[in-house]
Amino acid sequence: MRMISKRGVGRAVAVLIVVAMLLVAFVFIFPLGAGASSTAGAARSAAASGLASHPAAACGQVPVPLASTASYAVLASSTVTSTGATALTGDLGLSPGTSVTGFPPGTITGTKNVTTPGAAGAEANLTIAYNNASARSNCAVTVAGNIGGQTLTPGLYKSTSSLAISSGDLTLSGGGNPNGVFIFQVASAFTTTSGRAVVLSSGAQAGNVFWQIGSSATIGTTSTMKGTIMAHDSISMLTGSVLTGRAMAETGEVSLSGTTIVVPTTSSSATYPVTFTETGLPTGTSWSVTYGGSPASSTTATIAFSVESGSYPFTVNLAGYIADPASGTVTVNGAAAAQSVAFTAGTAGMFRLTFTESGLPSGTTWSITSGGVLNTSSTSTVGFTVASGTYTFTVGVLSNYTSAPSTGSLTINGAAGNQGIAFTSTGPGGGGGGGGGGGSSSLSPTDWAVIAIAVIVAGVLVGAFLVMRRK
């Protein structure tokens, strides 16, 4: 009986030793609190990077297509009037009006086109350019009242009423990108007060600045303005005002007073073709693509754009059909680029909801759950076909990555929708592969305390086992 008791105790001790060793191994392999510390680190990483719901690359604008208007310093529909020593470097055009006054003493370093086919064609192209600028919508930033004293970066800026530059100068910063495009949509009047200026910095170029004015523009006395002004009604440039750009009135007059206008040039940057090719539509069906904010349509299988290197968003939408992809981003990097779009006949009122990721290595599988449906992909997009409505979404968890946003909602209202998902790597938890070695550890003080207790328990049990064996 005594031997059986010792064996029983020995076996029990052996079992306890194995359990203790397993506990130690478990703590080392699955460190306690790692999930919490990883989540906290991810949150810190996302906050530090300032990630938004849409990657910045998806908000790029392409220049407004000016066509034959590009050579004009002044272009008007009704009249062009000038007083004083106005100096124009560029063409002057008027159509269908016939009255141009003030030249001389004003000077024109360019061609004077009055009621000519060239002027009529330029006015027609002005309407196209004006409508192109007013139709831009991707990543619009709302502005209002006075934007003087602000510094703005390339993008689309929208005012639902009038807009002014007063109480300070407006700085447009290219952020080191000479191809950055600034587009301002102003629903009614635009005004600069006396002596105010638009200042270009960090590579911004006047040739990439566009002002679409819903009514009339007034450039104040001695104001210095940058960019192409396209006013629906009229433009008044007061005494001593300076414009590096173009003053173009779609339906009214342009008045000048000792004004200097120079048509801007942009640094020579190569452009590359971007071709969208559709499949699935009946021959002759008209379809359209908006790329970099610029819309184009065709009744053939292809739609082409010409852009400088950069990343630009696109959207495709056609009533009665579902486009795949319906939205996304095409990046041009020193070479031509192409994007295929597959159309399928869809139920009326159905639209494509697309999620586009950035930050993951090519081929990584990721997932989105939206409306209770889980979709996965190893490409940059995950798509759903939905009716109009508001849909919540959750981004699937990926080891060593955080996403911004990770959850949210998106409203589909009679058109396709897109949501950008930016992934950020949090890196592995420890100092690399293998079982030992140096490097920093991700274990918390609590984790180390648990490990120490487990080792002590294991040591006590081993000692007890050895004592029992001696007996």
Q: For residue 446, tell me if it sits in a domain.
A: no
Give the confidence band of 286 by pLDDT, cuts at 50, 70, 90.
very high
Residues 48, 76 share a domain: no
Residue 235, pLDDT above cutoff 80? yes
Residue 116, pLDDT above cutoff 70? yes
Taking residues 135-146, report their average pLDDT.
91
Which of the listed residues 313, 348, 383 is the one where a domain comes to its end? 348
Q: What is the DSSP letter of 265?
A: -
pLDDT tens-digit profile of 354-377?
898 888 887 788 899 998 788 888
Q: How many domains does the structure of the chain reveal?
A: 3
- Strand blocks (E) in 252-349: 254-257, 260-262, 271-279, 287-291, 294-298, 302-308, 310-316, 321-324, 327-332, 337-345
Residues 283, 381 share a domain: no
Q: Residue 449's pLDDT is what?
A: 58
Give the chain's mean pLDDT. Answer: 81
Residues 303, 250 share a domain: no
Q: For residue 441, tell me if it sits in a domain.
A: no
Residues 324, 384 share a domain: no
Residues 184, 216 share a domain: yes
Residues 75, 206 share a domain: yes
pTM for the whole structure? 0.56
| CB-count exposure of residue 434 (10 Å: 0-12, 13-18, 19+) | exposed
Lowest-pLDDT range, 30-44, 229-243, 295-309? 30-44
Q: Are 234 and 213 in contact (CB under 8 A)?
A: no
What's the longest Cα–Cα distance across the chain? 128
Lowest-pLDDT range, 85-94, 245-254, 306-315, 329-338? 306-315
Which of the listed residues 200, 233, 262 is the one where a domain comes to its end? 262
Q: Are 170 and 150 in contact (CB under 8 A)?
A: yes
Q: Residue 386's pLDDT is what?
A: 83
pLDDT tens-digit profile of 199-222?
999 889 999 999 999 999 999 999
Q: Residue 36's pLDDT is what?
A: 35
Q: In sequence order, what are the residues at sequence separation of 6 or more whose Cβ sits closer than 8 angstroms to the Cβ of residue 115?
A: 94, 95, 96, 97, 98
Residue 42, pLDDT above cutoff 80? no
Query: Which CATH number covers residue 292?
Result: 2.60.40.1120
Give the confidence band of 54 by pLDDT, cuts at 50, 70, 90.
very low
Q: For residue 431, tell me if it sits in a domain.
A: no
**Which comes out higher in pLDDT, residue 27 or 411?**
411
Structure tokens at 31: 């460190």
Residue 429, pLDDT above cutoff 60? no
**Domain that residue 204 falls in:** 67-262
Q: For residue 336, tell me if it sits in a domain.
A: yes
Q: For residue 448, tell me if it sits in a domain.
A: no
How many CA atoms are closer than 13 Å to the CA of 466, on its beta-carbon side?
Answer: 6
Distances (CA, A) of 424 to 47, 49, 71, 357: 11, 9, 46, 11
- Upstream peptide bond of 325 is cis (omega within 30 degrees of 0): yes
Q: What single string gives the DSSP state of each residue in 368-396?
A: EEETTEEEEESSSEEEEEEESEEEEEEEP
Q: For residue 363, tell me if it sits in a domain.
A: yes
Residues 231, 114 share a domain: yes
Give 3-state DSSP helix, strand, coil % of the chain, rounded to 5. Answer: 20, 40, 35
Residues 277, 397 share a domain: no
Give the confidence band of 271 by pLDDT, cuts at 50, 70, 90.
confident
Taking phi first (over 0 means left), then psi (-120 to 50 degrees means alpha), and beta for anything else, what does residue 159 get? beta
Amino acid at 116: T
Q: For residue 25, tell me if it sits in a domain.
A: no
Residues 296, 402 share a domain: no
pLDDT tens-digit profile of 86-114?
999 999 999 999 999 999 999 999 999 99
Residues 227, 149 share a domain: yes
Residue 152, pLDDT above cutoff 80? yes
**From CA 209, how far away is CA 207, in angstroms rounded?**
6
**From CA 143, how far away is CA 123, in angstroms rounded?**
29
**Which comes out higher in pLDDT, residue 461 or 272?**
272
Give the confidence band of 182 by pLDDT, cuts at 50, 70, 90.
very high
H helix or E strand, kind and range, residue 246: strand 242-249
Residue 437, pLDDT above cutoff 60? no
Q: Residue 320's pLDDT is what?
A: 81
- Upstream peptide bond of 96 is cis (omega within 30 degrees of 0): yes
Lowest-pLDDT range, 133-147, 151-165, 352-366? 352-366
Taking residues 403-430, report their average pLDDT.
81
Residues 111, 192 share a domain: yes
Give the confidence band of 410 by pLDDT, cuts at 50, 70, 90.
confident
**From CA 434, how far away is CA 154, in angstroms rounded?**
47
Taking residues 465-471, report their average pLDDT.
57
H helix or E strand, kind and range, residue 128: helix 117-134
Q: Residue 418's pLDDT is what?
A: 81
Q: For residue 470, tell me if it sits in a domain.
A: no
**Which comes out higher in pLDDT, residue 388 or 405?**
405
Residue 292, pLDDT above cutoff 90? no
Distances (CA, A) of 450 to 20, 33, 35, 38, 264: 12, 11, 16, 19, 70
Which of the listed residues 319, 348, 377 is the one where a domain comes to its end? 348
Q: Residue 431's pLDDT is what?
A: 36
Q: How many residues does the chain have?
A: 471
Residues 382, 310 share a domain: no
Lowest-pLDDT range, 61-70, 276-285, 371-380, 450-459? 450-459
